[in-house]
Amino acid sequence: MAVRNSLSGQLLRRSSVVAGARFMSSWFRSIEPAPKDPILGVTEAFLADQSPNKVNVGVGAYRDDNGKPVVLECVREAERRIAGSQFMEYLPIGGSIKMVEESLKLAYGENSEFIKDKRIGAVQALSGTGACRLFAAFQHRFHPNSQIYIPVPTWANHHNIWRDAGVPMKTFRYYHPETRGLDFSGLMEDIKNAPDGSFFLLHACAHNPTGVDPSEEQWREISSLIKIKGHFPFFDMAYQGFASGDPERDAKAIRIFLEDGHLIGLAQSYAKNMGLYGQRVGCLSVLCEDEKQAVAVKSQLQLLARPMYSNPPVHGALIVSTVLGDPELKNLWLKEVKVMADRIIGMRATLRENLEKLGSPLPWQHITNQIGMFCYSGLTPEQVDRMTNEFHIYMTRNGRISMAGLNTGNVGYVANAIHEVTKSA
């Protein structure tokens, strides 16, 4: 009897082990590889190409005229001051108070009444992506039946962010392919037809991927209609200073909405305008009706951030607060960000000039009419494929060109390739 019980126990344990192993082996069996990110996939293909003529105009990261990454001198000096003088303790959930204060002054204005009245609930965020993601979670929690209207086209990650936050998305017209400019009438019609009280995602400046921004007068009309409809404007501002070389000019859309009495949400990033791509430093702010409401909003943003990432990183925040908080370093930054913006603007002019000199029958004024890191070239996916396969020039298939990838050594080559793939169009 004892032997039988022992054998039965062994068989039961063995079958349990086999069943458990079979169950565990099936946990991840059905998972398929995720599709490659279209932008990062361009870089992978570029790196694998052995051609000496290869050019990467796919990724939105600034390069100097030698094609090299740049660390701003104001950032180097800030790092020298920080080194050995700061502890590496946890920041509060809301991040660096000093960095947030300087960010608000940059966006809302040095002497903003909203800052003085403490009407802005704001936290440090993981660059612009993190700021958008945190706001999307905030929208989902406190307006669970709302949706967000996103421009066509927009930065691809916007769709991922609001989708993963569980917020339904709709779109509004923005880019006009025939003119390669703004579809202003379509945009206004879609704002008007959206249900009252909808959320709208707006690019504050240097629209990604098109480089097409509304004029000041158009921004005023957009602001007026959004106010009439009771919509909530959420701005993604990834390029303040980098677009025109003037941070005040690049914040004009936001200032117009503030003048018109809107409550707004705002995502800021220091990836492009300070070159702090890998530091992941940004700010999320929400303008509220009063100080009490701002305190409540900030507390809820912190509550959402706690299980996401607990608290933001310290080093990038120290750099930003040091640069913006010191008059000498801030002036240096203003000069350096203008140098970056001017180089991009210069490359636009040179690319257009080269195309026109080649005798292209197509109009290319949109290259210089657009602004910021990206040029929406108008190239079709098939033409982009030819650019890659025949000329080893890499970009996303929507025809977006990162102007930072151009320099005096390759702009002529790229212009010639564009001419070759479009001359029969």
pTM for the complete prediction?
0.92
190, 213, 236, 250: which one is catalytic? 236
Distance (Å) of CA 234 to CA 41, 257, 259, 284, 419: 29, 11, 16, 10, 39
The pLDDT of residue 357 is 96
Number of DSSP helices (H) and strands (E) in the chain, helices first = 17, 13
- Residue in the structure block whose two tokens are 């026109």: 356
Distance (Å) of CA 141 to CA 135, 138, 193, 258: 10, 5, 25, 25
The partner residues of 267 in beta bridges, in order of sequence, read 236, 284
The pLDDT of residue 125 is 98
- Catalytic: 236? yes
Per-residue pLDDT of the chain in tens (425 residues, 90 and over written 9):
554 556 555 655 665 555 555 556 678 989 999 988 877 788 899 999 999 999 999 978 999 999 999 999 999 999 999 998 878 899 999 999 999 999 999 999 999 999 999 999 999 999 999 999 999 999 999 999 999 999 999 999 999 999 999 999 999 999 999 999 999 999 999 999 999 999 999 999 999 999 999 999 999 999 999 999 999 999 999 999 999 999 999 999 999 999 999 999 999 999 999 999 999 999 999 999 999 999 999 999 999 999 999 999 999 999 999 999 999 999 999 999 999 999 999 999 999 999 999 998 899 999 999 999 999 999 999 999 999 999 999 999 999 999 999 999 999 999 999 999 998 76
Distance of CA 416 to the CA centre of its chain: 30
Of 215, 210, 325, 205, whose CA–CA distance to 273 is shortest? 205
| N residues, the chain | 425
- Catalytic: 155? yes
Q: Using an 8 Å Cβ cutoff, are 60 and 404 in contact?
A: yes
Q: How far apart are CA 329 and CA 14, in angstroms?
A: 70
Q: Which two tokens stand for residue 162?
A: 């609001």
Omega of the bond leading into 153 within 30 degrees of 0 (cis): yes
190, 219, 250, 272: which one is catalytic? 272
Distance of CA 357 to the CA centre of its chain: 34
- Residue in the structure block whose two tokens are 């339904």: 168
The pLDDT of residue 319 is 98
* CA-angle at 212, arms to 209 and 218, nearest 5°: 140
Domains of the chain in sequence order: 38-70+340-423 (3.90.1150.10), 91-325 (3.40.640.10)
**199 by DSSP, 3-state: which?**
strand
The partner residues of 282 in beta bridges, in order of sequence, read 125, 269
Q: How far apart are CA 8 and CA 241, in angstroms?
A: 76
Q: How far apart are CA 33 and CA 114, in angstroms?
A: 47
The pLDDT of residue 88 is 86
Q: What is the CA radius of gyration of the chain?
A: 25
155, 162, 219, 364: which one is catalytic? 155
Q: Which two tokens stand for residue 24?
A: 């565990």
Q: How far apart are CA 321 and CA 331, in angstroms?
A: 14
Q: How far apart are CA 31 and CA 255, in angstroms?
A: 47
